[in-house]
Amino acid sequence: MPKWAIWALVAVAAALIIGPRLWPTTTATKVTYTEFLELVDNGEVQSVTINNLSNVISGELRDGSSFETTGATALSDADEQLLKEKGVDYDYVTPTGNFFTDLIPLLLPFFLIMGFFLWMQRRAMGQAGNIMSIGRSKAKNYDADKPSTTFADVAGYAGVKQEIKEVVDFLKMPERFKEIGARVPKGILLVGPPGTGKTLFARAVAGEAGVGFLSVTGSDFMEMFVGVGASRVRDLFQQAAKMGRAIIFVDEIDSIGRKRGAGLGGGHDEREQTLNQMLAEMDGFEATEGIVVMAATNRPDILDPALLRPGRFDRQIIVPLPEVEERLAILKVHSAGKRMGNDVDLDTMAKATPGMSGADLANLVNEAALFAVRRGSTHIERIDFENARDRVVLGASRESLILNAEEKRATAYHEGGHAVLATVLPHSDPLHKVTILPRGMALGVTWTLPEERHTYSREYFEDVICKAMGGRVAEMVVFGHLNSGAANDLEQSTNIARRMVREWGMSDKVGPMAFAGQQQVFLGEDLMTSGREYSDETARVIDEEISRILHEQEKRARALLEKHRKGLDLVAQALLDQETIDGALVSRLVQQGLGEPEKVSENSPKL
């Protein structure tokens, strides 16, 4: 019985019991008992009926109207005699109860007991149904209700769109490909850093395909019961097969697709069974036609080799971080529908945000809008974008942190050392701005804008290390002592020097040899054989080369800062006065310290 029917029965019963009391049906005139006796004495009463249960006296007057009053349980002898003398016809009645009113007290316990047993039965059936359906797939079907996202909503990535469109075209027009014997890839793996839009591409495919689209995440296959994941994989492909032509999208496939037999304990039985079933469904003994599996991950290195072979995931599509033109298109998409000021230059902002993903750019635009609201402005202006970029890249401003005079001066010379070296080093990235306002975990920040490049030279890395040493060396030159503020600079420098020697072959003494870091056990590498790949003598040479690079760049930084000491003093003083200065001002101050004519360095553009 549906819930609405139960509530309807309750409402009807309440109406039968309470209704007569709330809405009386009698139209008789209410009179007092004294007025009733006066009417009888005047001979106006024709007949009277006395209710033995409620003591209500109702009657009819000689003019045809009716009346009603309340008296004693029984009339007194004098009142009865008065009725007889006046010729009033009176009678005592005991009314019978309402049928439904009498029946409900008898049936109510029965209904309560039956309702309790019915509730228990439905609860037991629901639990049994949940147990029986635990092996069903949790995939969402977008066949009837398709997402509104299309390829037009995905800015940039023309190559990625082209490869994915081929799959969509095959599912829409398979005969076009079959005429020349082409076979569509059974699986497409989207690989890229977080936030680059892999899931967004899947939503666009769902909006463009025109065929069945099933979406599921890798964690949906895993349960506490053994075999549930494999059962859900079978059910997922059965659903897709019923659609004829369909696309299955598995987000974060690395949660079930890791290498089998990995780890100290020999792996995870439930995950490996799920992976085995996935392998069999994609390219097993029974071939599946018209079903394409799309998957997304940012960890392709930990996937099982059997999952990546041709016939399963035939095609791996790299979704990299966007280039400058793509960043501009992404910024335009996220800026659409927002009130933008006339001084906002999205082209400049795209050039000033290298390394940002699509999610980072969306967050940048949103942060700019929040800054505009905080200023009380009705439009998003250039200053809002700059503040948002500083917050995203450098961290939130820590206005509650107040430095004393000594710490502030040390921070000014520390950041001034970085800024001067970023200006004078030939292969350094362009200097954008310097600040001694605490941001994030740093007491000050020197911000350079990396140029769009895909390979880096040894000279570039040497300049990066030299620039990182600038803060530490500046404090040594000016104050003659060191503090803990250079910890992050040293960590960055050491990591770069280590990779120069061990991975990039940029050490003449070590030569053209690459030594990768220690492999993690969970990636499937054996614990006993995943140790160091070189001898103790080679390790000593590597350590010596790393130390040599760091010491050489420290000496180089000292020589440059001693040469530009006047410029360093001017930059530090400007930071103490203004707290934040741009790269163009740093370049002029450095040239002023050398006594040269002021001119803006090409290495320090103002953005």
Instruction: Report the alpha-carbon distance of residue 188 to residue 201 in Å, rounded.
Output: 12
φ, ψ for residue 214, nearest 5 deg: -115, 125
B/e letters for 464-483, b = 16+ CB within 10 Å, e = fewer, are bbbbbbbbbbbbbbbeeeee
Say which residue, 286 or 304, is predicted with more confidence. 304
pLDDT of residue 61: 82
pLDDT of res. 602: 43
**What is the rounded (10 degree) CA torsion for 419, 421, 423, 427?**
-130
User: What integer pLDDT is reported at residue 263 of this predicted model?
Assistant: 53
The alpha-helical segments, DSSP class H, found in 446-582 are: 458-479, 487-502, 536-563, 565-578
Q: What is the CATH number of domain 140-318?
A: 3.40.50.300
Mind giving me the DSSP string for 357-370?
-HHHHHHHHHHHHH
> How does the average pLDDT of the chain come out, rounded?
78
Helices (H), 133-227: 158-172, 174-178, 198-208
Spatial contact of 492 and 506, defined as CB atoms under 8 Å apart: no
| CATH for the 324-394 domain, from 1.10.8.60, 1.10.1740.10, 3.40.140.10, 3.30.470.20 | 1.10.8.60
Question: Which pLDDT belongs to residue 519?
Answer: 47
- HEC readout, 250-301: EECHHHCCECCCCCCCCCCHHHHHHHHHHHHHHHCCCCCCCEEEEEEECCHH
Using the predicted structure, report yes or no on whether residue 244 has a pLDDT greater than 50.
Answer: yes
Q: According to the model, what pLDDT value does residue 605 have?
A: 37
| Average of per-residue pLDDT across 306-319 | 84
Answer for the pair 304, 275: CB distance below 8 angstroms, yes or no. Answer: yes
Using alpha carbons only, what angle is made at residue 307 by residues 302 and 311, rounded to the nearest 5 degrees?
A: 150
The answer to whether 82 and 41 are in contact (CB under 8 A) is: yes
Confidence (pLDDT) at 3: 63
Amino acid at 64: G
Q: How confident is the model at residue 526 (pLDDT cuts 50, 70, 90)?
A: very low
Identify which has the larger pLDDT, 499 or 240: 499
Q: Give the Cα separation of 411 and 497 in Å (integer).
A: 25
19: buried, middle or exposed (CB in 10 Å: 19+, 13-18, 0-12)? exposed
CATH 3.40.190.10 for domain 3-99: no
- pLDDT at position 265 is 45
Query: What are phi and psi for residue 534, nearest 5 degrees?
Result: -140, 165
pLDDT exceeds cutoff 80 at 400: no
Sign of the C-alpha dihedral, residues 409, 415, 418, 421? negative
CA–CA separation, 207 vs 22, rounded Å? Answer: 59
Task: For 552-607, write each residue's pLDDT tens digit.
Answer: 999 999 999 999 999 999 999 999 888 888 888 999 999 988 876 554 444 443 33
State the pLDDT at residue 600: 42
Query: Which one of the listed residues 415, 462, 545, 554 is annotated catalytic?
Result: 415
Task: Give bridge partners of residue 189 from the DSSP assignment.
Answer: 295, 316
State how far the alpha carbon of 589 is from the alpha carbons of 240, 572, 582, 598, 604, in Å.
Answer: 68, 10, 11, 8, 12
Angle between helices 358-375 and 382-394 (to 10 degrees): 120
pLDDT at residue 306 greater than cutoff 80 = yes
pLDDT of residue 440: 66
Give the residue extent of every domain in the chain.
Answer: 3-99, 140-318, 324-394, 405-594
Instruction: Average the pLDDT over 524-532 and give the result.
Output: 48
Q: What is the torsion angle, in degrees rounded to the nearest 10, for the CA atoms of residue 237, residue 241, residue 244 and residue 250? A: 0
The predicted model gives 353-364 an average pLDDT of 86
The CA distance from 550 to 469, in Å, is 9
- Full strand arrangement of the beta sheet holding 445-448: 445-448, 431-435, 580-582
Entry field: residues in the chain: 607
Range with the largest mean pLDDT of 32-36, 59-63, 339-343, 563-567:
563-567
Residue 415 known to be catalytic: yes
pLDDT at 558 (0 to 100): 93
pLDDT interval class at 102 (50, 70, 90): low
The encoded tokens of residue 7 equal 């509530």
**Residue 267: what pLDDT?**
47
- CATH fourth-level superfamily of 405-594: Peptidase M41 (1.20.58.760)
pLDDT in tens, 172-227: 777 787 788 777 778 888 888 888 888 888 778 777 777 777 888 877 676 655 56
Calpha distance 268→360 (Å, rounded): 35
pLDDT recorded at residue 528: 44
Mean local confidence (pLDDT), 77-104:
73
CA distance 565 to 528: 54
Longest alpha-carbon distance in the chain? 141
Residues 340-363, mean pLDDT to the nearest whole number: 85
Q: How confident is the model at residue 422 (pLDDT cuts 50, 70, 90)?
A: very high
Percentage of the residues of the chain whose pLDDT score is greater than 90: 14
Residue type present at position 429: D
Q: Which amino acid, residue 311? A: G
Pairwise CA distance, residues 214 & 235, whole Å: 12
pLDDT tens digits, 115-158? 777 777 776 665 544 444 454 555 566 554 555 677 777 777 88
End-to-end CA distance of the chain: 71
Q: Is the dihedral of CA 451, 453, 459, 463 positive or negative?
A: positive
Nearest Cα residue to 507 out of 531, 543, 469: 543
Residue 424 — pLDDT band, cuts 50, 70, 90? very high
Q: Which two tokens stand for residue 354?
A: 């290298």
Residue 417, pLDDT score: 92
Question: Please, which pLDDT band fits residue 534 given cuts at 50, 70 and 90?
Answer: confident
Pairing label, strands 187-191, 45-51: unpaired
Report the pLDDT value the prediction gives residue 529, as an integer from 0 to 100. 44
